[in-house]
Structure 1
Amino acid sequence: MAKLLPPYIDKNCKSTGERMLFDIFKNSHFTKDWIILHSLNLSKHTKRLYGEIDFLLLIPGGGIYVMEVKGGDVKCIDGVWHFTDKFNNTNTSNIGPFNQARDAMFSLRSAIEKEFGKRHKFTKILYGFFSAFPHIIFDKHSVEYESWQVLDKDYIQKGTEGFFYNLIQNFIQKHKTQKWFSVKDSLPDANDLNALCYFLRGDFERVRTVKERLAEFDKDVKKYTEEQCRILDSIQLNERSVTQGSAGTGKTMIAIESAVRAAAEGKTVFLTCFNRLIGEWMQKQVYEWKDKITVSSLHSFLFEQSKGFNYDKSQSSKQDFYSKYLPTLLKDIYQRGISRKFDKLIVDEGQDLIREEYLNLFDSMIIGGLKSGNWEIYGDFERQAIYSQLPKKEMFELLKQSGQYSNFLLKINCRNTKQIGEETSLISGFEKPPFLLEHLQGIPVEYFFYKGEADQKRILGEQLKKLNESKLPFNELVILSSKIFEHSCSYSFSDFTIKEIKNTGEFAMTQNIFGFATVQSYKGMESNYIMITDIEDLTSEIAKSLLYVGMSRARYGLILLIAESLRNDYRELLKRKLD
């Protein structure tokens, strides 16, 4: 089978023709060395402001081919194309599918030339285009295309291998006399196409930022880094894996994407984490797959699953109710076959969930158990293990007892600006950043020192007023503190309305309310602007961990309110930076 990117058809894809061709590429033996990308958006189209390639075929020894798919009934009358879908809805266009494919091909070639330079061997690759009509026999002739550029219902029924062989040979025959053509460079091998794929694939596999998903007004799309793409590919080849990465390296997004890929293959998935807010957020991201993916923070899942069972309710008041009693209860339920086991387990925030009782529960929940089952764990075991009761070494010893697994490491920070990443590393006590920073330039991190509660409230008010006057939407800033809301400087604040965030997406963009959360509860989330208040410790290990978590939530702007008594501690940190 071909290497398909993405490896599944999006549920929002309404084209039955595209679905049919996707399955052909996926299940055909002759495509086994091909790379096929589905629905590539081209922002700078040669003819129109926006274009889309239905399928892009990267064929070793054959070249690169743009395919335009037209499902349903297709007619061309007096130069006007008529496309009728299965609901008998008809759309018309003066631009035919062959011209669409050809224009997209030139756009793609221009993009590659701009990226790699005019003299690069990739600019000599053979390009071709064709159109597919999977529901009809298309026997119309035109000067716009050759008959061998038509893949229709008749060809599909007979078998498509012959069509593609003829397509490639005809394009080679057509261009081999050109000065730029050479067998070595124009008919690329698998290594060349894999290298080119990393440039192209970001337009296929896209991650929407939290801002975009929650506020629905930010149209910027952040692409997966090349590193994330490689790990996503590698995870598919390993039944069990642990992926480590510092804050902002994309662990949660990879976990979500992996869950969707498994669900697209028909697997049932349990996607879990420690933090309630991030659990709610992930649940929204995979809502359309809710029949296959169960998403919840582990404690919420334990509580919900225990409902209806007769157990000692007096245990709920005990400190180990969630850490020992409920995990043991649920383990017994799964072992007895009362609840159906999952095909795959994916754990985010693994640094807070690796302990014996939870691992025993996970072992009972998945087919094959931890030793032979399909599972992935993602975590930051350096500074984000603020709920863990075990050191990193002991956590990994427990995992080793559960069976063999592959290790992966994410190094590139794709969330924070360079300034935020460097300051986070400095304040949280790292000798050097525990991640590689992308070249995302932003504004300087701001530090303010307060001399008491009243002074801190004054500074908080001034900064909120300043941001408000700059037209920053209220929901673009989150105020964090290591203290609970009632004990923080944000409580009983008179200048602006500040409310505690209890559910994701709680505050609309139009509401004049600033959100507040504890650093602990906001772990795993992010916001364009973060303000951290009530900073009364810079040196203890727990303080460094909380600052690391809090500061790394900020994508663009970061403001810290620090007690005046810590000014000397801050100066010492600056000295270390200068040294």
Structure 2
Amino acid sequence: MARLIPPFFPEGAAPGEQSVYRKLSEDETTDDWIVLHSLNIAKHVRNPEGEADFVVIAPNLGILVIEVKSHEYFTFRDGLWVLGKQKPTTRGPFKQASEAMYSIQKDLRKKKIDLRSIPMLSAAWFTATRARTMLRPTNEWSDWQVLDSEDLKNDPIGALRRTFAGGIAHLDATFNGYSYGGVGPAKATAERIAMLLRPNFEFGVVAADVRSTREDQLVHFVEEQFLALDAMADNQSVLFTGPAGAGKTLLALEAARRELTLGRRGRLICFNKLLGRRLAIDIKDPALSVGTLHSQLLALTGLKVPAGNSQLFWSTELPERAIEVLLELDEPPADFLIIDEVQDLLTESYLDVFELLVKGGLTGGRVLMFGDFERQAIYDDGRGHELLKTRMPSMPSHRLTMNCRNLPRIGFSVNFFSGLTPGYQKFRRDDDGANPVLLKYVRGQDQSALLRQAVEALRNESFDLTEIVVLSPLADGSVANTTTDFWLKSVLVQADGGTIKKGKIRYASIHAFKGLEAPAVIVTDLDRLNVPNFESVLYVGLTRATDRLYGVIEEGTGRAEMGGNR
């Protein structure tokens, strides 16, 4: 079948578009076709921007831009179109399709695609009416440009091939010998055209501020993330790996949305409690269970957290009870399983739970895992990755390398201070010239003055207090938690993963804030003597900052880090 991008139709798409999409997705004779749906056109020939309902890129046939109209009645009289209850307009579906086609053609030429032997065609598909018999001949369109409800019902792919053939015949009549020797695009060229076009329309939604206070900012995927989306579609199970900031959580959310649009029920699981709450806010669907593994197992078993909150309960007793409950079910509860922060969940007992959660189990089920095995596995003894390979030996792995979160100077600081090898090399975001700042303190000294200095510097740069997060490798003993500074005490609130309170600065431990990010981060209490696994914890803390980073570091630790004496 054709490769449809995105591999689902968006919510709210017109019924006619959904019908066309469904027919294209069901056909088995178009394996080499690529079909883009809802292609946003940033530089439209007529309007500030526009959209093409479908762009069919068919090797050895050409490129066809289709305008879909779902209206159950229409009229065309005296040069005016009336579609359903819409106002009369001279800009009918054929003109819309043509303008979109010329806009795409102009864009591709600018990107050095040779279109001389590639037919660029446009058509209108009237999915609810017999337009081919209703529309009288006119010099404003050709009969081969009309597709209708009978085409949709009887042979939609045959109708598209008819349109391609009619368009090529028209070009032959206009340019003598146009198709002599065959037409393009070649398969490789078709792939390149799709790759050049789709970054303009496909995007994911993340709840994060990237130098703004908007909670839901649209962040364009980069090319390697498109390849990751392809890997999701091409494989039943995949392990996605990459350092912090490579977009793993964004891809996990997008994977969940795509599974849900296919009518499946599943689970989106993570390790970190604050991240679990954030994910639950970002994606709400009754068919999806979202949250930490522990919270989901508590809901599954009905167990209560015992007094004392012992590690034995979380690592052994809870998963064992969950396995008992799952074994009593007629079938696993999930059609798909998506696991973020998988590096922190790789134990025998947890993998046994995953085996029973998803239909087909780990080796035969729909399982997508996202993890950072660089330095972010701060709860792992190093054997988790090997254990996963043993349990799922045939699972393909896809590595993400582009840093999509941090400004380059923050990324390079992470390379240096955490000893990341080979470290970040590619960044999606452009450098703005601002270096991370280190503020040194003497061991035992109150860091409140330095913390306030960092906050005031960020406020002078117009950062809102809600954009600032204070992190520490410590929990109860952090400077944010123990400060005696009256003003800091009045604005600091512990991060809870929920709505950010206006006029407040969030603080948390680095461990608790794993998987999350903020525009400006101040990392305090950086003292190697007080922090086990210092480089890994430092790596997690520093990579939370998207735009500005301050470190409040013990002077001896600072000298060791700067001098490389780790």
**Amino acid in structure 1 at the alignment position of 2:320:** T
Maintained 8 Å contact 1:46/1:106: yes
Q: Which moved more, 1:327-336 or 1:120-129?
A: 120-129
User: Which of 294, 317, 329 matches 1:325?
Assistant: 317
Matched, 1:532 2:533: no
For each residue in 1:315-360, what CA deviation from the matched residue of structure 2 results, as whole angstroms up to 9, or x when unmatched?
Answer: 8743311111011001100011178521222211111000011111
- Residue aligning to 1:158: 154
Q: CA deviation at 1:32?
A: 2.9
Contact 2:266 2:336 in 1 (8 A): yes
User: 2:371 corresponds to which letter in structure 1?
Assistant: G
For 2:94 and 2:183, how far apart are their aligned partners in 1?
A: 22
Per-residue Cα deviation, 1:289-336 (whole angstroms, up to 9, x for no partner): x232211111111222222x6x9x758743311111011001100011
Counterpart of 1:245 (choices 234, 242, 245) is: 242
1:278-289 superposed matches below 5 A = 278-287=275-284
1:246 counterpart SS class: coil
Greater displacement, 453-462 / 176-185: 176-185
Range moving further from structure 2, 120-129 or 18-27: 120-129
Kept after mapping to 1: 8 A contact 2:343/2:372: yes
Say whether residues 1:144 and 2:137 are aligned partners.
no
1:187 matched to which residue of 2?
Answer: 184
Kindly state the Cα deviation for residue 179 of structure 1 after the two structures are TM-superposed: 9.0
- The residue matched to 2:552 in structure 1 has which SS? strand
2:520, 2:547 within 8 Å by CA — same for their partners in 1?
yes
1:302 aligned onto 2:292: no
Structure 1 distance, partners of 2:175, 2:216, is 42
Matched, 1:58 2:57: yes
User: 1:263 and 2:260 equivalent?
Assistant: yes
TM-score (norm 2): 0.90
Determine which of 94, 113, 119 is the counterpart of 2:109. Answer: 113
Cα distance in 2 for partners of 1:239, 1:555 equals 33
1:18 and 2:10 correspond: no
* Structure 1, 356-365 or 447-456: larger mean CA deviation: 447-456
- Tell me the equivalent position of 1:227: 224
Checking the alignment, whether the CA contact within 8 Å between 1:6 and 1:204 is kept in structure 2 is no
Matches of 2:547 and 2:159 in 1, distance apart? 51
Bigger shift: residues 417-426 or 258-267:
258-267
Q: What is the match of residue 134 of structure 1?
A: 127
Change (3 A) 1:9 1:316: farther
Alignment of 1:92-491 (within 5 A): 92-116=88-112, 120-122=113-115, 125-138=118-131, 139-141=134-136, 142-176=138-172, 178=175, 186-211=183-208, 217=214, 221-287=218-284, 290-307=285-302, 317-337=309-329, 340-388=332-380, 390-392=381-383, 394-401=384-391, 404-433=394-423, 436-438=426-428, 440-442=430-432, 443-451=434-442, 456-484=447-475, 487-489=478-480, 491=483
Deviation readout 1:449-492 (Å, 9 max, x if unpaired): 23467663223223322322332222222221112255324644
Cα 1:561–1:37 change in 2 (3 A) is same
Deviation readout 1:172-222 (Å, 9 max, x if unpaired): 122245499566795212111012211112233212343369977378632
409-418 or 365-374: which moved more? Answer: 365-374
Residues 203, 317 of structure 1: alpha-carbon distance in 2 compared, 3 angstrom cutoff: same
AA aligned opposite 1:10: P
Cα gap change, 1:540/1:162 in structure 2, threshold over 3 Å: closer, same or farther?
same
Question: Which one-letter code corresponds to 1:450 in the other structure?
Answer: Y
Higher deviation after alignment, 221-230 or 379-388: 221-230
Q: Which one-letter code corresponds to 1:380 in the other structure?
A: D
* 1:366–1:374 Cα contact (<8 Å) kept: yes
Unaligned runs of 5+ in 2: none
Q: Distance in 1 between matches of 2:424 and 2:3?
A: 33
* Aligned-residue offset at 1:539: 11
How big is the shift at 1:132? 1.2
Tell me whether 1:35 sits opposite 2:1 in the alignment: no
Rate the CA distance shift 1:495–1:354 in 2: closer, same or farther, 3 A: same
Match of 1:47 in 2: 46
Contact 1:384-1:549 at 8 Å conserved across structures: yes
Matched, 1:517 2:508: yes
Q: Bigger CA drift: 447-456 or 275-284?
A: 447-456
Other structure's SS at 2:21 match? helix
- 1:431 and 1:541 map into 2 onto residues whose CA distance is 20
Residues in 1 aligned to 2:181 and 2:41: alpha-carbon distance in whole angstroms: 28
Q: SS state of the match for residue 320, structure 1?
A: helix
Residues 271 and 345, structure 2, Cα contact 8 Å, conserved in 1: yes
Distance in 1 between the 2:31 and 2:254 partners?
Answer: 23
- Label 1:263 to 1:489 Cα distance change in 2 as closer, same or farther (>3 A): closer
Query: Is the contact between residue 61 and residue 189 of structure 1 (CA under 8 Å) also seen in structure 2?
Result: yes
CA–CA distance in structure 2, aligned partners of residues 105 and 19 of structure 1: 21
Tell me, in whole angstroms, the C-alpha distance in 2 between the residues paired with 1:483 and 1:317.
19
Q: Please give the alpha-carbon distance, in whole angstroms, between the structure 2 residues aligned to 1:111 and 1:375.
A: 38
1:541: Cα distance to partner? 6.4
Residue-by-residue CA offset, 1:502-527 (whole Å, 9 max, x unaligned): 4334215xx21111121111111112
SS at match of 1:506: coil
Partner of 1:503: 496
Query: Alpha-carbon deviation of 1:23?
Result: 0.6
Query: How far is 1:540 from its partner?
Result: 7.1
Q: Distance in 1 between matches of 2:529 and 2:16?
A: 60
Identity %: 28
Shift of 1:380: 0.8
What's the RMSD between the two structures over aligned residues?
2.9
Rounded Cα–Cα distance in structure 2 between residues aligned with 1:77 and 1:485: 76
Name the aligned partner's letter for residue 7 of structure 2: P
> In 2 relative to 1, CA 49–505 (structure 1 residues): closer, same or farther, beyond 3 Å?
farther
Unaligned runs of 5+ in 1: none
Shift in CA distance, 154/219, structure 1 to aligned 2, threshold 3 Å = same
Per-residue deviation, 1:33: 2.1
